[in-house]
Structure 1
Amino acid sequence: MSYVGTYRRLAEVFQEGRDAGCMDTGLVLHQRRFRSTHEDAEFRAGPPPALLVPENALEPESMKGLLDRDDGVEENREFPYRILAPSGCERSTRGVLVLHGLNERRWEKYLPWAKALVEGLGVPVILFPTAFHMERSPALWADPRPMRQLSRERMRRIPELEASSFANAALSTRIHARPDRFVWSGLRTLRDLSRFAESVHRGDEPLLAPGARLDVFAYSIGAFLAEILFMADDGGWFADSRLVNFCGGCLLSHASPLSREILDSAAARALRRFFEELDVEKQLRPELGRLLSEDASGHAFEFMVRNDRHRAEREAALQRIGPRVRAIPLRKDRVMSAAGVAETLAGSGAWVEILDMPYSYDHANPFPLQGVDEAEVERGFAAVFERAVRWLGG
């Protein structure tokens, strides 16, 4: 069956609410729950000095307190993650983590990806969500009706606003007001991933043997996080792991998150300005400065922000992990540019192969479901995942 047919079949089963059980022939879905034990105060985004928040960035009165939340969001503290595994799978000595992109709210897009990895490698594949994404955020943030209202309100307040949509309204509002949330959420995710890997090492996951190797297939901003995860691996949980970066892995200064699926123009500008003025931001937010300076993940995060900062440390860190990394950027990707990925990983020992597709695609939709030839999409999908399986299977 084609990629499009596979997507539709798996999405239909997933949307029926089957949290566990057979998804397809030879493919079983398992659901687990994870508790992020870190205190919210350790990953608090504010409040920032009042002068730092533009008036038009504040949430509208009709949603007061619904979007401007970082502490006490129970969905972010305890949440489900999924594992797709071969039927009859006993304790495997290997597994693959799949890390998703920025502003993702649904797993359906990733089900065919996970299926290809399960079938190609014969191991469990773990779909693990980023902080405040997927089911780690309040349902309101993904509800089309109030989010359309929010998008219209942002366009009213910011007449020059571009790329606003119901899909990016919640994240755009949050990042526009407090762009440091990008850092806090990323570092909390990295802490959660490290603790998950430690639990696998102990043997707490029934589908994985104690000490099982965890490889990573990472997409978009997930690739950025995965590189940091490998760099700052104090516990050694990923010492032998391999990584595939798909449509990602460049420095943040090489990324352009302006997209109706990711961030609107006001939020994208605020985020870019935040990273351009990071030294000043660290002084204004001492708790952020301490985390970026004293925490291994925070320190590695700062390596990966700008090309003109921490060059020697970044190059040394990338050279340590580079031989275990394969990057597959797409030539027409305007969010995580192929040239940016290649430049970031140059000299690291990573294998970078730029692909192009014979159909119309973009960063958020590398394998479109409509308006393209299904056979061509199938070939494009196979080109990516055959390479991924070969690399992770090594």
Structure 2
Amino acid sequence: MSNKTETLEYPFESLSYNILPGASDYTCLKHNISLTNTSQFRTEVGTIHDNVHIKDISVDENRFFNYTIIKPKNKTVAENVIFLLHGFNEKDWTKYLSWAQAICEGTGSHIVLFPLAFHMQRAPKYWSNKRHMYKLSENRKERYPNIIDSTLSNVAISMRLHAMPQRFIYSGLQSYYDIIQLIEEFKTGKNPHISKDFSFNIFAYSIGGFLAQILKLTNYNNYFSDSKMCLFCSGTTFNRFSSVSKFILDSEANVALYSFLIEHFDKFLKTDNILNHYILNDHLEGEVFNCMLDYQKKRVFREDLLRKHEDQIYAITLTKDKVIPSFEIINTLKGAYRDINIKVDELDFDRPYTHVNPFPANLSSDQQVTDDFNLVFNKVCDFFNA
């Protein structure tokens, strides 16, 4: 860490954990109604009986955890905050520390590194145990001989989403409500390093950008009205992702998730009382979530929202990104008829890189990597400082 910044940690308790699968009855606080779980979409497909497949609502690590703030050493109380949202199936913050440091030094803002549900420090350590995960991956390959990219890195999340694809929505909603909760905690002075009158922006990478768009476009309580959103390798609808990767999802989980969220989602909503309520019944966050799943569905609704905030959104894409392709981000953010004035900068580094690893750590001493890193984060900081 730079001698210009320092790192702090603060505890957080998710008050929205009780939306997660594992209970029989739920309560919607907004409408003050009880909801009975009617979902029949329970399957043993993809499940190997061990403590990877446990009730989501019972995972204490996902409910109680610490979030991190990287701040300028010479600044005690922040007037300006930037939330940094990470990618899919991330297990530690290592690659993001230099990103956060660059944004902190370039903007003078406090950077909040907040983990999404069941990611980073919010997942049981067992799910990252290399020996156990290797064994599970080998078992999974035996069960599905044609599986692609099953690895010890993605087997836990792949098994859980394969067996229960709606986890993607439940954990997404929890993450959404958690960030709203954190903002409200800051506004009440719960964090001594954040002013009650703070302003904030969002820097989001990969799937973190999916959540960032839902937050920004929903604009709960007008909290996000003045917030800028910078997307890096992100910005498209879910069905334009290519998530099969040894670091993200295996092919069986990807097929199950796509089938649930894209091909048959409307049918599943008819049989799932909880999801039906949050997606279709007076929850704008659910409607926005829905419009970000499929490029074709609710396109006009999505594009109207993007157009409304076009001056506050900026995206940086990478030409060789195979997971979230640059042209798909442009299609989504600029609209089907290219009538949305969101600035998108497409970059292409003159060296090997991937979506998961745009700035390879093993080449950190390489001047080209350093120059590429500085190019990206100078653009990020210029956007936030403008």
Report the TM-score when normalising by structure 2: 0.91
**Corresponding residue for residue 4 of structure 2:** 26
Give the residue type in structure 1 aligned to 2:89: N
2:385 equivalent in structure 1: 393
- Which consecutive unaligned segments of at least 5 residues does structure 2 have? 24-36
Answering whether residue 275 of structure 2 is matched by residue 288 of structure 1, we say yes
Contact 1:95–1:124 (Cα < 8 Å) also in 2: yes
Match of 1:357 among 309, 332, 349: 349
Q: Do structure 1's residue 257 and structure 2's residue 235 form an aligned pair? A: no
With over 3 angstroms needed to count, the CA separation of the structure-2 counterparts of 1:349 and 1:199, relative to structure 1, is farther
TM-superposed deviation, 1:88: 2.8
Q: Is the 8 A contact 1:250 1:341 kept in 2?
A: yes
Q: Describe the SS at the equivalent of 2:220.
A: coil
Judged with a 3 Å threshold, the aligned counterparts in structure 2 of structure 1 residues 51 and 245 are, in CA distance, closer, same or farther, namely closer
Q: 1:220 aligns with which of 195, 206, 219?
A: 206
Does 2:358 correspond to 1:366?
Answer: yes
Which amino acid counterpart does residue 362 of structure 1 have in structure 2? T
Q: State the one-letter code of the partner of 2:311.
A: P
In 2, Cα distance between equivalents of 1:301 and 1:45: 22
> Residue 203 of structure 1 contacts residue 211 of structure 1 at CA under 8 Å; is this kept in 2?
no
Which residue of 293, 312, 328 corresponds with 2:316? 328
More moved, 341-350 vs 42-51: 42-51
1:1-394 aligned within 5 A: 23-40=1-18, 42-44=19-21, 53=43, 55=45, 57-58=46-47, 60-61=48-49, 63=50, 65-275=51-261, 276-294=263-281, 295-346=283-334, 347-370=339-362, 374-394=366-386
Q: How many residue pairs were aligned?
A: 367
Q: Which moved more, 1:291-300 or 1:94-103?
A: 291-300
- Measured in 2, the distance between the counterparts of 1:193 and 1:335 equals 25
Q: 1:253 Cα shift? A: 1.1
Asked if 2 retains the 8 angstrom alpha-carbon contact of 1:331 and 1:338, the reply is: yes
Q: Distance in 1 between matches of 2:241 and 2:199?
A: 30
Residue equivalent to 2:28:
none
Shift of 1:370: 2.6
**Is the Cα contact below 8 Å between 1:201 and 1:211 reproduced in 2?**
yes
CA 1:39–1:357 in 2, change beyond 3 Å: closer, same or farther? closer
Q: 1:129 to 1:307 in 2, by over 3 A?
A: same
Query: Once the 2 structures are TM-superposed, how far is the Cα of residue 336 of structure 1 from its aligned partner?
Result: 0.8
For 2:314 and 2:41, the matched residues in 1 are separated by 43
CA contact under 8 A between 1:48 and 1:178: conserved in structure 2?
no
Single out whichever of 205-214 and 170-179 deviates more from structure 2: 205-214
* Alpha-carbon distance in structure 2 between the residues aligned to 1:183 and 1:38: 13
Q: Contact (CA 8 Å) 2:321, 2:355: kept in 1 or not? A: yes
Measure the CA separation in 2 of the matches of 1:156 and 1:50: 27
Letter in 2 for 1:262: I
User: Is the contact between residue 364 and residue 370 of structure 2 (CA under 8 Å) also seen in structure 1?
Assistant: no
Please tell me the residue identity of whatever aligns with 2:358. P
Structure 1 gap ranges (5+): 1-22
Q: AA paired with 2:238?
A: L
What is the distance in 1 between the residues matched to 2:326 and 2:5?
A: 33
Distance 1:242 1:51 in 2: 38
Q: Note the alpha carbon deviations across 1:259-278, whole angstroms, 9 max, x for none.
A: 00000000011111112211
Deviation for aligned residue 1:249: 1.1
The AA in structure 1 aligned to 2:11 is R
Give, as a single letter, the amino acid of the residue that structure 2 aligns with 1:67. Answer: H
Runs of 4+ in 1 over 3 A off after TM superposition: 45-52
Question: 1: CA distance between counterparts of 2:243 and 2:168?
Answer: 12
In structure 1, distance between residues paired with 2:237 and 2:77: 37
Q: Secondary structure at the match of 1:333?
A: coil
- 2:105 and 2:366 map into 1 onto residues whose CA distance is 21
Q: Distance in 2 between matches of 1:233 and 1:285?
A: 26
Tell me whether 155-164 or 272-281 shows the greater mean CA deviation.
272-281
The alignment yields a C-alpha RMSD, in angstroms, of 1.7
Distance in 2 (alpha carbons) for counterparts of 1:282 and 1:44: 15
How many angstroms does 1:113 deviate by?
Answer: 0.2
Report the 3-state secondary structure (helix = DSSP H, G, I; strand = E; otherwise coil) of the residue aligned with 1:370: helix
